[in-house]
Structure 1
Amino acid sequence: MKKPDSYKRYCKSLCLKNDDKLIDEYKKVHAAGAAWPEITQGMLDVGIIDMEIYLTKNQLFMIMDTVTDFDHDKAMTELATKPRQSEWEAHVARFQNTSADASADEKWQLMERIYKLGL
């Protein structure tokens, strides 16, 4: 899917458990084609048009691009009800420094943009 010229961007962070073996497993779960198709479809359904996750040590950084009329709170509430979403959250919780029953929105903390190169 080609990203449209106009979209909203959200950046989020999450800490993984500081365990090299778990971090390697987490990377495998997120390798190309490894994410469950229901999870990817659920994100698309709520208006997430692109997502990237970066890792440094045990800190994750997510860039989430969405449709322009995206309502973050509403979309995250809806996403939590999508097929296999709670199962996915339980599956990846073993890698994360969060509660096993936390939703994706509770785990991934929105970041505040404090600088933008104004080109």
Structure 2
Amino acid sequence: MTTSSPPRQYYYVLDLVDDQESIAEYERYHQPGNVPPAVIQSMKQAGIQNMKIFRMENRMVLTMTVDDTFSNERKQSIDESSEAVQKWEELMWKFQKPLAFGQGYRPGTKWREMKVIFDLDQHLKP
């Protein structure tokens, strides 16, 4: 019997342009049925099992549950080869703004990976 490793979690942060009409439009684009099927398929192909985006004012947090095949590099390669994903990303750029802090990120980097600093499960293990 083979056992697979537990799903991995990733967390990212990004800001939206601070304009209520723009934020409302961004949310409409993310409602069920509004994200192009090819974009959803690209996520699944990259090994993303689930993704959620949370918003508080213009700050967003994205969570991803991924399988063993996922890597940021693999996802980037899949995204770059998809015309639909490229069009989607270009459209989303008008709503998003890169975070202005941090080192080691290329100019124009949007979603920034967050580091987990506390996990209750780790404190409960014997």
TM tier relative to shorter chain: 0.7 to 0.9
For structure 1, which segment, 63-72 or 88-97, has the greater mean C-alpha deviation from structure 2 after superposition?
63-72
Contact in 2 for aligned 1:8/1:70 (Cα 8 Å): no
Report the structure number with the largest CA radius of gyration: 2
CA distance in 2, matches of 1:29, 1:40: 13
Q: Which amino acid letter does the alignment assign opposite residue 117 of structure 2?
A: I
Residues 24-61 of structure 1: per-residue CA shift (max 9 Å, x gap): 00000001111111100011011111100000000010
The answer for unaligned runs of 5 or more in structure 1 is 99-104
CA distance in 1, matches of 2:5, 2:68: 10
Contact in 2 for aligned 1:38/1:83 (Cα 8 Å): no
Q: Which amino acid letter does the alignment assign opposite residue 86 of structure 2?
A: S
* 2:76 alignment partner in structure 1: 76
One of 99, 106, 110 as aligned partner of 2:109? 106
- Sequence identity, in percent? 26
CA distance in 1, matches of 2:94, 2:14: 13
RMSD: 1.9
* 1:92 alignment partner in structure 2: 92
The answer for unaligned runs of 5 or more in structure 2 is 99-107
Q: TM-score, normalised by structure 1?
A: 0.84
For structure 1, which segment, 74-83 or 13-22, has the greater mean C-alpha deviation from structure 2 after superposition?
74-83
* 1:117 alignment partner in structure 2: 120
Contact in 1 for aligned 2:5/2:68 (Cα 8 Å): no
Q: Which amino acid letter does the alignment assign opposite residue 29 of structure 1?
A: Y
With over 3 angstroms needed to count, the CA separation of the structure-2 counterparts of 1:84 and 1:69, relative to structure 1, is closer
Q: TM-score, normalised by structure 2?
A: 0.79
Q: Which amino acid letter does the alignment assign opposite residue 52 of structure 1?
A: K
